[in-house]
Chain A
Amino acid sequence: MKLIGKMTILLCGILLIVFANKFPEFGDPHSPASTHLSPYYIEHTMADTAVPNMVTSVLADYRGYDTMFETTVILTAGLACFFLLRLPEEEEKEIYFRHVPTGVTIRIEECGAAPEDSDVFQRIDAQWVPRDIIIRSTSRLLMPFIQIFALYVVAHGHHSPGGGFQGGVILGAAVILFAISHNLRTTVAKISETSAAIMSAAGVFIYAGTGALCVMLGENFLNYGALAPLLGTDRVMARSHGILIVEIGVALAVMSVMIWIYYNLSSAGKQDEGL
């Protein structure tokens, strides 16, 4: 296998190197990629959508179908992780609780009465280790700032680098940071797997629903200009607002799918204490 691999990469590498000379030079303004389609986007984005950030306008308006199905792909990936890994919650032989004020660990065998899950008794795993207070408090301090930044990235995607995908990933990263610094049980208690699943479906629904609303108003799918009478603006501004609605849907879907995949991957589907 090593020999086949080396021969393949030698062959492919030589082919790619030979044909790299036919490609345009780095930064060539007259390369085929920048002469056919992209000048239209650059020159008409303001007149068509009133969005100065071309990446956002191309992402959510000119290529709206592409982005919608990319969001669906992300949702499908989340579902695939869930169906591959998630195990049904089974009755365990013995479970462990920790009495938080005293730090005493209690082991409860089969048929024993488990205490109510409360602030005093914390459900733990056999391999539980105390968490470092410095890491815990630092990440807890950082979380709101990360989330505010993520909301800024989503909301300001029209005017600066940003948008639904980036903001959604940052939002998800904040929750994953919480899950790493505390543990998975605490995180699942705050954002349950069900709500992550519902939010990811809701994100895709917002996107597709905006498109369907345009159809109901008598225009093409994802033609946000049709939303003008609903939003009380002209057609161009309606496109700008439509892009924002769609980006919020994307952010919701991406955030919750990232959280959902992390829940299932980090605990191999058991959703116990995790990493």
Chain B
Amino acid sequence: MDFLTVLISRANYWAYIILMMVGLYAMIAKNNLVKKIVGMSIFQTAVILFYVSIGAKQGATIPILRHGPVPEGGGIAHAALRHGTDAVQAVNYINPLPHVLMLTAIVVGVATLGVALALAIKVYKEYGTLEENEINQRLRRG
């Protein structure tokens, strides 16, 4: 397999690796607490992208069963219904499980981001700064 095929056939993994490393670097190396929180959000996005891309299937449609009137055209699932094959084929629908997991993870992520920002506000009120080295200095001085 040549380089370009690998690059294209696993593009989702490269995207999530880049995002995850950007987030991880921000969490480790950035000095400002809000920038660390932004890094955490980027890291979270990388995980979400990874899960959702795992659920994808070639030639499959969204995980909602065809019901109601069947239109002309449409994907494989529609064609199967038109030709009277009634049984639902798992190949025709993408994997719903990663979508369920990430659906809740996104909302919980927003809520926990709120808690992180609340902590940052609290730290700012206490120390008057969000820079980590200045907070450390103040802590060492007692």
On A, residues with C-beta under 8 Å from B are 1-2, 4-6, 8-9, 12-13, 16-17, 20-21, 23, 25-29, 31, 33-34, 37-39, 41-43, 45-46, 52-55, 58-59, 63, 66-67, 70, 73-74, 77-78, 80-81, 84-85, 159-161, 163, 165-166, 168-169, 254, 257-258, 261, 264-265, 268-269
Asked if B80 lies at the interface with its beta carbon under 8 angstroms from chain A, I say no
In the complex the two chains form, what is the Cα distance from A4 to B115 in whole Å?
Answer: 27
The residue of chain A having its C-beta at the shortest distance from the C-beta of B121 within the complex is A268
- A77:B111 contact, CB within 8 angstroms: yes
In the complex the two chains form, what is the Cα distance from A76 to B53 in whole Å?
Answer: 30
- Given that A5-B28, A26-B12, A264-B118 are known contacts, is A16 also in contact with B17, CB under 8 Å in the complex? yes
Q: Number of B residues contacting the other chain (C-beta, 8 Å)?
A: 58
- B25:A6 contact, CB within 8 angstroms: yes
CB-CB under 8 A from A9, the residues of chain B are 21, 24-25, 28
CB-CB under 8 A from A21, the residues of chain B are 6, 10
Asked if B85 lies at the interface with its beta carbon under 8 angstroms from chain A, I say no
Q: Is the interface of B mostly helix, strand, loop or mixed?
A: helix
- B63:A261 contact, CB within 8 angstroms: no
- A34:B10 contact, CB within 8 angstroms: no
Asked if B55 lies at the interface with its beta carbon under 8 angstroms from chain A, I say yes
- B13:A84 contact, CB within 8 angstroms: no
7 closest A-B pairs by CB:
A5-B29, A77-B111, A39-B90, A5-B28, A54-B96, A261-B114, A52-B65
Q: Of B25, B95, B118, B122, which one neighbours A5 at CB under 8 angstroms?
A: B25
User: What distance in Å separates the Cβ of B112 from its nearest Cβ neighbour in chain A?
Assistant: 6
In the complex the two chains form, what is the Cα distance from A28 to B31 in whole Å?
Answer: 41
Interface contacts (Cβ under 8 Å), in number, total 174
User: What distance in Å separates the Cβ of A266 from its nearest Cβ neighbour in chain B?
Assistant: 10
- A17:B17 contact, CB within 8 angstroms: yes
Known: A16-B21, A165-B103. 19 other contacts (CB 8 A): A1-B28, A1-B31, A4-B29, A5-B28, A20-B10, A29-B59, A34-B94, A38-B90, A42-B88, A42-B96, A43-B87, A43-B88, A46-B65, A52-B64, A54-B64, A70-B104, A81-B115, A159-B64, A165-B104
The residue of chain B having its C-beta at the shortest distance from the C-beta of A58 within the complex is B100
User: What distance in Å separates the Cβ of A217 from its nearest Cβ neighbour in chain B?
Assistant: 26
User: What distance in Å separates the Cβ of B63 from its nearest Cβ neighbour in chain A?
Assistant: 4
User: What distance in Å separates the Cβ of A99 from its nearest Cβ neighbour in chain B?
Assistant: 33
CB-CB under 8 A from A74, the residues of chain B are 107-108, 111
Asked if B14 lies at the interface with its beta carbon under 8 angstroms from chain A, I say yes
- B96:A55 contact, CB within 8 angstroms: yes
Asked if B11 lies at the interface with its beta carbon under 8 angstroms from chain A, I say yes
Q: Could you show 22 A-B contacts with beta carbons less than 8 Å apart? A: A1-B31, A4-B29, A8-B28, A20-B14, A21-B10, A26-B12, A26-B13, A38-B96, A42-B93, A53-B65, A54-B63, A66-B104, A73-B111, A84-B119, A84-B121, A85-B122, A163-B103, A165-B103, A165-B106, A261-B118, A268-B125, A269-B121
- B95:A80 contact, CB within 8 angstroms: no
